[in-house]
Amino acid sequence: MEINFEQALQYELAALAEQNLRRSLRSLTSPQGAQVSVGPQSYLNFSSNDYLGLANHPKLVKAAQKALKEYGNGAGSARLICGNLDPHTSLDQSIAHFKGTESALSFSTGYTAAVGTIPAIVGRGDTVILDKLAHACLIDGARLSEARLRAFPHNNIAYLKKVLRQEKNASRILIVTESIFSMDGDSGQLADIVEVKENFGAWLMVDEAHATGIYGRNRRGLVEQLGLSSKVEVQMGTLSKAMGSSGGYIAGSHALINILINKARSFIYSTAPSPAVAAASHAAVELVGGPEGEEQCAKLWKNVHYFAERLPARWKLSDEPQSPIFPLMIGDEGEALALSRSLEEKGFLVPAIRYPTVARQQARLRVTISAAHSTEQIDQLLQHLKQ
């Protein structure tokens, strides 16, 4: 029997629903924050990556408003044509200063930073080696590069060495990992990876999406905290999580940034972000790098430890929290969904993370803690988790 377009898609959607894997959108009617609204319903939000509570910060909002007034809304074209407005240039410079690198380049999102960068630095005849739990954007970037793809089990350095030995004939080898893994909340074994990649003459790209703004003396990320800044060729991150804005970045040498300006297709063939967004991101970078960032960061870690110390043993994965991300492991997709819905009925937003974001039967509730949470709000969630 022949089925038409609509039927084919409906069939697929029904199959997703049957496996508890169908997703749908929820529309918030308030700004981002510890408390959010969906219409008349108010929720305590334990699902945001706004770790420092900056998404609705007056300095970011004001910077965007000022830029809107001065530059209007649209950037008009790609940055290489006529869309590179002063806020974009200032943002790039502020990121380089914040990260302590020679240069930096902002992208529309972290996703486009990854899919533009990997194919710009490796290609056919090269090899990309990814941690198995690397984010989808890193996998997609590696696929687009047409380099040979290899993976090593999460943080398994012995296996990484084995792959490096097998790939010794590749022209270039790029190892790609994250500093803080988005769905597990644990850290990459960066010091070991740096040692291994130096021994094998490979290059390293570290995605600091969930670490930018919350680790290191200057809050540059985990690479800074571990003293590895000069040893990581490509430092990537986003402005959309702890920075409370939107956009992605690559920080590194002048040569790296010039290659990206010339070769990163997601940068070249896409209209520049609105100057208002760039200006808000610039304000965020300055704030996070300054005393207010330090204060918010201290608040965040106080909340993280408060939550971790009181989390029921059933949900604990380690004694010491490594990040504001706490995966509450469930396994079955249906069960995770049911638990998330029951928390929602009680007024908490805690999403069920399911395949394909994580492996099948690895479903979990992903709790994220923010500097914006009060102790009372965290206590309320803990009380329900104990039940």
Ligand X SMILES: Cc1ncc(COP(=O)(O)O)c(C=O)c1O
Q: What track of x and - describes contact with ligand X for positions 96 through 115 (by CB under 6 A)? A: -------------xxx----
Q: What sign results for the dihedral spanned by CA atoms 266, 269, 272, 273?
A: negative
Report the residue number, 138 or 196, with the smaller CB distance to ligand X.
Answer: 138
As a whole number of angstroms, the distance between CA 351 and CA 366 comes to: 6
**Positions in 44-63 near ligand X (CB under 6 A):** none
Please give the residues from 122 up to 161 whose contact with ligand X meets the rule CB under 6 A: 135, 137
For residue 69, how many other CB atoms are within 10 A of its CB? Answer: 9
The CB-of-181 to ligand X minimum distance in angstroms stands at 7
Q: Does 368 sit near ligand X (CB under 6 A)?
A: no
Question: What is the rounded distance in angstroms from the CA atom of residue 152 to the CA atom of residue 210?
Answer: 21
Q: In this chain, which of 34, 121, 209, 300 binds ligand X, going by CB under 6 A?
A: 209
Question: Tokens at residue 27, please?
Answer: 């529309």
Smallest distance from the beta carbon of 188 to ligand X, in angstroms?
Answer: 11
| Token reading at 150 | 């290899």
CB distance 350 to 366 below 8 Å: yes
Judged by CB under 6 A, which of 186, 207, 224, 333 binds ligand X?
Answer: 207
- Which one is catalytic: 197, 241, 282, 373? 241
- Segment contacting ligand X (CB under 6 A): 84-92, 115-123, 203-211, 264-272? 203-211
**Considering 182, 187, 245, 370, which one is annotated as catalytic?**
182
By C-beta, is 114 or 336 nearer to ligand X? 114
Mark whether 241 is an active-site residue: yes
Min dist CB 270 to ligand X, Å, is 13
From 57, 99, 197, 210, the catalytic residue: 210
Residues between 264 and 323 that touch ligand X (CB under 6 A): none
The residue from 155, 240, 266, 340 that contacts ligand X (CB under 6 A) is: 240
Q: Which residues bind ligand X (CB under 6 A)?
A: 109-111, 135, 137, 178, 182, 207, 209-210, 238, 240, 248
| Residues with catalytic function | 182, 210, 241
